[in-house]
Amino acid sequence: MNKSISDNGETVAKGSICGYDSLDQLLSANLKPELYQEVSRILLGSNCGRPLEHIVIPASAKDLSSKHDFDLQAFSFSADKEQTRKPRVVRVGLIQNSIALPTTAPFLDQTRGIHNKLKPIIEAAGVAGVNILCLQEAWTMPFAFCTREKKWCEFAEPVDGESTKFLQELAKKYNMVIVNPILERDMDHGEVLWNTAVIIGNNGNIIGKHRKNHIPRVGDFNESTYYMEGDTGHPVFETVFGKIAVNICYGRHHPLNWLAFGLNGAEIVFNPSATVGELSEPMWPIEARNAAIANSYFVGSINRVGTEVFPNAFTSGDGKPQHNDFGHFYGSSHFSAPDASCTPSLSRYRDGLLISDMDLNLCRQYKDKWGFRMTARYEVYAELLAKYLKPDFKPQVVSDPMLHKNSS
């Protein structure tokens, strides 16, 4: 466990909140039970009018968590009982992790080290009965995309490359759909690179892929040295367990990106990410939860963990001196539901597996309750967007005539 010294001289976990793994732990440890319940209701919402229930995890999964030192949490989202449909409960998992070896280690050793590190976490998901599992953005490598050094391109692999093959065996073994976010080398189009999520079916087959729609250009995170905006649109993948989509990292800041997956029928949207505390942490619990509410689907938010130090210093476009790391990747992976409820987050500094049972009937129930699809004015938005895209666009602004009168 990484440690640092706090202002008062106490030793606390690096990346933690006052020595606690997560905000939920801090609140539960420092508030009276009745006050904690009320604060939790406001911060985490309630599911069908009740707090989320914990899922009983098999002992074999707990043993793997203890042996390999990763955070393991599990919660259940319910839906109201319906008269015409049976419950559609699916068990979903998210994995967050730090890298396995220093960034100076040989590249093949780094990737295989991460494979070895994640295998027991994936197996814990398997023995716990997870149906759909999503890994973090570019999980096979350090998040080197902001260094602008081209050597990191060596981590790229084809859609059917080593990491996909590694996960295909586990998907087939555990009858589990796995979302595999990689740095893709497109062998059919001049070996260009993409930030891609490969969808592996529960039979070990490749269902399809989605490429990252939005590329950040903020601070250290200017990733267009390696790949550009994706060309796959907003696909929704129909699996035996439900309809899923992948909104990769920076796409979470774009409400229309979330909307498009919903319009295509997604029931669960995963957001595999890599983001640091100074840049985005206040946004992290808000954006995905808002997307789940606005689009009546579940969201699984995943962020990597730890501080990754690179051998050569690099600079940002924000005036900061050159540095060798991006800052602390704060983990805090969580699930959000259409009814505004969400799970507590995983640790801010430990590897982790978050499991959730979710009744997908809740998606339609909240479409019916709020009527967002019915009351949206898509034709009005479409008209505005069509005008906005034209060079002669003028904003619809009505000015107070008095603003332009000569004060004299």
By annotation, the residues acting in catalysis are 137, 212, 249
Q: Which residue has the tokens 């898509």?
A: 378
Closest CA to 132 of 47, 244, 209: 244
C-beta of residue 134 within 8 angstroms of C-beta of residue 118: no
What is the DSSP secondary structure assignment for residue 276, as one 8-state letter? Answer: B
Taking the C-alpha atoms of residue 120 and residue 68, their distance in angstroms, rounded to an integer, is: 7
Q: Look up residue 376 and give its amino acid.
A: A
- Angle at which helix 33-44 crosses helix 23-30, to 10 degrees, equals 150
Residue of 272, 271, 270, 267 whose CA lies nearest to 297: 267
> Which alpha helices (DSSP H) does 182-334 contain, by range?
255-263, 277-280, 284-295
What is the residue whose two structure tokens read 């905006």? 229
Encoded tokens for 80: 């109201």
Give the Cα separation of 179 and 171 in Å (integer): 10
Q: Note whether 292 and 270 are within 8 A (CB).
A: no
DSSP string, 131-162: SEEEPPTTTTS---TTT--GGGGGG-B-TTSH
CA distances from 295 to 150, 231, 290 (A): 38, 23, 8
3-class secondary structure, 298: strand
For residues 42 and 341, give the distance between their C-alpha atoms in angstroms, rounded to a whole number.
9
Asked if residues 357 and 63 have their Cβ atoms less than 8 Å apart, the reply is no
**Can you tell me the distance from the alpha carbon of 88 to that of 78, in angstroms, rounded to the nearest whole number?**
10
Say whether 193 sits in a helix, a strand or coil: strand
